[in-house]
């Protein structure tokens, strides 16, 4: 019975990780770009994009073809459609399983069991996330179309080149640009870059889900670590490790008070005057 339960638990976590990955790539609209950049040669063969088409002269091309954007409407529409179906489909499944069906047992799964979004904030989260996903999907469709039509990007990548979202669209675009900067500046293999993106997307989604989740990697803290950054504000600034917060003394301490107006990252000692550093454990 024990081994059967372990296999069931492993399978459940595996399915959860795969679902979160698809949800994360849909949120930023990168799924199509991943496919194009890692398998563009096979896709060109499948779509019958011949060398003659790619190397045709500017005079024989249409307006969009001159800018390597033939069938742009197809790429962008496909990117947006699949992203929305994935985002709303998997996102609704998560919301139903945890926030609806298990709402009566929040202490078993919720990082902050006593705090819930209002209906207004839920709709705000939904519409803002959808707007950001629309922006990411259009950009992904645009770049995918450009690459598939023979457009060249000056990327420092060995091999084939590659490329929760309730945040301000300006911040969303800014963070997406930072994620793309390495492929323009640092020599890196496409597979390595994609693996790093997948890793970041997965934990970025889980750490903002509000769901308690332990990490499978020894250096990665549980989802409570980053959730406490949002709950207590000025502490736990790291994301994939507690190392730098521990080094700088900004790891959350149990006997300190934190708040929106308590700056410095080290909190304020309790009224009893104890300055003992009792760090909260996240690993």
Task: Tell me which of 23 and 220 has the higher pLDDT.
Answer: 220
Question: Which three-class secondary structure state does DSSP give residue 62?
Answer: coil
pLDDT in tens, 132-171: 888 888 888 888 888 787 776 554 444 433 334 455 666 6
Number of alpha carbons in the 13 Å side-chain half-sphere of residue 56: 16
Where is average pLDDT lowest: 6-20, 200-214, 234-248? 6-20
Supply 265's token pair. Answer: 């990252």
Angle ∠(88,92,95) on CA atoms, nearest 5: 140
Give the tokens for residue 214. Answer: 């332990």
Residue 62 pLDDT class (50, 70, 90 cuts) = low
- Provide the β-strand partners of residue 242: none
Angle between helices 2-28 and 190-206 (to 10 degrees): 100
3-state secondary structure of 253: strand
Length of the chain, in residues: 283
Please state the pTM of the whole predicted model: 0.71
Q: Helices 169-185 and 190-206 meet at what angle, rounded to 10?
A: 160
Nearest of 230, 203, 229 to residue 214 by alpha carbon: 203
> Do 161 and 150 form a contact (C-beta atoms < 8 A)?
no
pLDDT reading at 59 higher than 60: no
Locus of tokens 């000025």 = 234
Our measurement of the distance from residue 133's CA atom to the centroid of its chain's CA atoms, rounded to an integer in Å, reads: 11
pLDDT in tens, 16-48: 677 776 766 666 666 676 677 666 666 666 665
CA distance 128 to 169: 8
Cα 87 vs. chain centroid, distance in angstroms?
12
């Amino acid at each position: 019975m024990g081994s059967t339960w372990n296999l069931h638990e492993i399978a459940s976590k595996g399915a959860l990780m795969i679902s979160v990955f698809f949800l994360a790539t849909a949120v930023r609209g990168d799924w199509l770009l991943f496919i194009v950049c890692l398998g563009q040669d096979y896709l060109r063969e499948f779509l019958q994009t011949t060398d003659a088409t790619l190397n045709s002269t500017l005079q024989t091309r249409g307006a969009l073809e001159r800018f390597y954007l033939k069938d742009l409407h197809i790429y962008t529409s496909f990117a947006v459609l699949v992203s929305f179906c994935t985002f709303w489909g998997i996102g609704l499944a998560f919301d139903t399983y945890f926030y609806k069906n298990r709402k009566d047992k929040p202490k078993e799964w919720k990082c902050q069991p006593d705090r819930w979004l209002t209906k207004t904030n839920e709709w705000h989260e939904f519409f803002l996330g959808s707007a950001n996903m629309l922006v990411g999907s259009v950009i992904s469709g645009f770049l995918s179309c450009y690459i598939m039509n023979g457009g060249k990007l000056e990327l420092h990548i060995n091999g084939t080149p590659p490329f929760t979202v309730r945040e301000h669209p300006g911040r969303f675009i800014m963070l997406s640009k930072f994620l793309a900067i390495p492929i323009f500046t640092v020599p890196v293999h496409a597979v390595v870059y994609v693996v790093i993106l997948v890793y970041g997307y997965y934990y970025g989604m889980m750490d903002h889900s509000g769901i308690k989740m332990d990490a499978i990697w020894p250096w990665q803290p549980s989802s409570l670590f980053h959730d406490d950054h949002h709950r207590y504000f000025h502490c736990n600034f790291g994301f994939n490790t507690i190392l730098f917060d521990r080094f700088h003394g900004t790891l959350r301490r149990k006997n300190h008070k934190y708040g929106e107006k308590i700056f410095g990252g080290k909190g304020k000692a309790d009224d009893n005057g104890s300055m003992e550093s009792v760090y909260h454990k996240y690993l």
